[in-house]
Amino acid sequence: MKILVAVKRVVDYNVKVRAKADGSGVETANVKMSMNPFDEIAIEEAVRLQEAGKAKEIVAVSLGVAACQDTIRTALAMGADRGILVETDAELQPLAVAKLLKVVVEKEQPDLIILGKQAIDDDANQTGQMLAALLGWSQGTFASKVEIGDGAINVTREVDGGLETVAIKLPAVVTSDLRLNEPRFVKLPNIMKAKKKPLAVLKPAELGVDIAPRLITLKVQEPPKRQAGIKVDAVAILVDKLRNEAHVI
């Protein structure tokens, strides 16, 4: 079985995100970037399936600027066999990403696609579902457990009411949740080996996909700072402030 894993380069989760002064987006200049945490979990799950003898090859795919090669190399160091970068400087929205991945999938013919349930930069939670719809494949989202059977896969999903287990046929798209696994620490020897693993670079034009944005960002701004709390001496004062100052009752 071949597994394709999509990985995204985002602002590191430890970095305090700041909006640009002109409100056009998020400041990324001189900011530490890393792999989307949910995609790290997706790579880890693919590697574990390979170690269990369920998969023969893992292909890591990323879309974006040339620096995304670093993200793919991280995936290769974690255990992926080869990488593919669809390189572009244009803004990629979820639908464009899904369309590009669809063409890559048609070329690679994987049996299973795993990707993070969402990226921590836009929190869209759309790409996996869109990709499954475009391919006409089964999908298991918000996965906290994955079990491969004979031509099928059992996915335990995290839902509002608890856990739900669904059986889906392969080929399928699975999106990983936080509790699916804990990604391994990448060792230095594996980082060195990753530099020698193959990494192909493609362009959106080669794939015949229109990546023009369909949505327009009007403005990006930081949330207002919270005011310090105060103590009151009586319930009547609290009610008065909630009614006349906070306007919540």
Q: What is the pLDDT of residues 173-226, one digit of tens each?
A: 999 999 999 999 999 999 999 999 999 999 999 999 999 998 888 998 888 888
pLDDT value of position 137: 97
List the domains of the chain with CATH numbers.
2-222 (3.40.50.620)
Q: If you ran DSSP here, which 8-state letter would residue 178 be given?
A: G
The pairing of strands 112-116 and 172-176 is parallel
Helix (H, G, I), strand (E, B) or coil at 48: helix
pLDDT, tens digit (0-9, with 9 covering 90-100), for 9-35: 999 999 998 888 888 888 888 899 999
pLDDT, tens digit (0-9, with 9 covering 90-100), for 227-248: 888 899 999 999 999 999 888 8
Of 245 and 6, the one with more pLDDT:
6
pLDDT, tens digit (0-9, with 9 covering 90-100), for 130-188: 999 999 999 999 999 999 988 889 999 988 888 999 999 999 999 999 999 999 999 99
pLDDT value of position 46: 97
Longest CA span, the chain: 71
pLDDT value of position 188: 93
| Cα separation, 88 vs 66, whole angstroms | 8
Give Rg (Cα) of the chain: 21
Percent of the chain with pLDDT over 90: 80
| Cα separation, 59 vs 86, whole angstroms | 13
pLDDT value of position 34: 95
Q: What average pLDDT does this structure show over 74-80?
A: 96
pLDDT value of position 207: 94
Q: Is the pLDDT of residue 43 over 90?
A: yes
Q: What average pLDDT does this structure show over 95-104?
A: 96
pLDDT value of position 224: 84
Average pLDDT, whole number, for the chain?
93
Q: If you ran DSSP here, which 8-state letter would residue 51 be given?
A: H
Q: Provide the angle, in degrees to the nearest 10, between the axes of the packed helices 68-78 and 37-51.
A: 30
Q: Where are the beta strands (DSSP E) in the chain?
A: 2-6, 9-11, 33-35, 57-64, 82-87, 112-116, 138-148, 152-159, 162-169, 172-176, 199-202
pLDDT, tens digit (0-9, with 9 covering 90-100), for 53-62: 999 999 999 9
pLDDT value of position 145: 95
Helix H, strand E, coil C: the string for 16-45 is CCCECCCCCCECCCCCCEEECHHHHHHHHH
pLDDT value of position 44: 97
HSE-CB of 148 using CA atoms within 13 angstroms:
23
